[in-house]
Amino acid sequence: MLATIQYNSRKHQIDLSNPIDISMPLRASKENVNVWYIDEPTIEPEEVDDAIISVEKGASVNFNTINFNPHAHGTHTECVGHITKEVHSINENLKQFFFFAELITVAPEKKDDDFVISKKQLQFALGNKKRDAVIIRTMPNTSEKKSMHYSHTNWPYLLEEATIYLRTKEVKHLLIDLPSIDKEKDNGELRGHNAFWNTEGKLRKEATITELIYVPNRVKDGTYFLNLQIAPFENDASPSKPILYQIIES
């Protein structure tokens, strides 16, 4: 099934028959991806009036309660409310859900005791391309990312200069396969988040950061049509399901 989309005065055909899901599933398991020093998510049948509401236990329906943290337990999309005293909701600020996105693959570089993504690397990967969204796949890229426990691992991160560069290119939506665009333990500075959302100037309330995605190696770098799906949580972040579609030039 093909759809025709007009973008920058050009018409493009989008292949809707082959969606590429780059989200991670949330599982009630220790094998679920995990970060920020908390336990795994739970999905358990609710108990009402001493009855366990589960078909297996004799109820007519399954009625599970899910306990999880969007930042810690899977693919999530966050807005500037993640780092501001003022409350900002992802559900209120993300009002458009379809974007032209550029998928790039980057091998973080060694810097002192860290591995980082620099402005120069992003410049090389993006060139003169102008995109609403940028998706960063980091190397090495193994399926272990989907069950990785990231706490105390000092994962790779974006240098502040890199996020400033993305902001100046007017990238509104940044997606990455790491737990955070910032260093795990940075004394709360969150330089990347602050730079991307421009907290020292006019807040970019419409801009989002999506973390803990997983892009399979079979998906080639290039331009895609992105559907950034969230749950309607009135919260700084929501679990999300970004879907890519291939573009067939018309």
pLDDT of residue 11: 82
In a domain, 54, yes or no: no
Mean pLDDT of 160-188: 98
pLDDT of residue 12: 82
Q: Which domain holds residue 175?
A: 2-26+70-249
Mean pLDDT of 78-90: 97
- If pLDDT is split at 50, 70 and 90, which confidence band does 1 have? confident
The two three-digit tokens of residue 186, written as one number: 């940075």
For residue 189, pLDDT over 70 is answered with yes
For residue 33, pLDDT over 60 is answered with yes
Mean pLDDT of 228-239: 98
Averaged pLDDT score across all residues of the chain: 96
In a domain, 11, yes or no: yes
CATH code of residue 93: 3.50.30.50
Contact present, 103 and 222 (Cβ < 8 Å):
yes
Among candidate residues 163, 89, 83, the one with its CA nearest the CA of residue 121: 163
- For the chain, give the percent of residues with pLDDT over 90: 93
Determine which of 7-21, 30-44, 48-62, 146-160 has the lowest per-residue pLDDT on average. 7-21
In a domain, 41, yes or no: no
In a domain, 56, yes or no: no
For residue 10, pLDDT over 90 is answered with no
**pTM, full prediction:** 0.96
In a domain, 16, yes or no: yes
In a domain, 233, yes or no: yes
pLDDT digits (tens, 9 = 90+) for 44-64: 999 999 999 999 999 999 999
Rama region for 80: left / alpha / beta (φ>0; ψ in -120 to 50; rest)? alpha
Determine which of 46-50, 69-73, 150-154 has the lowest per-residue pLDDT on average. 46-50
Question: How many domains is the chain partitioned into structurally?
Answer: 1
pLDDT of residue 173: 98
Among candidate residues 30, 68, 76, the one with its CA nearest the CA of residue 177: 76
- Sorted by sequence, the CB contacts under 8 Å of residue 86 that are 6+ apart come out as none
pLDDT of residue 3: 72
In a domain, 32, yes or no: no
In a domain, 39, yes or no: no
pLDDT of residue 248: 87
- If pLDDT is split at 50, 70 and 90, which confidence band does 111 have? very high
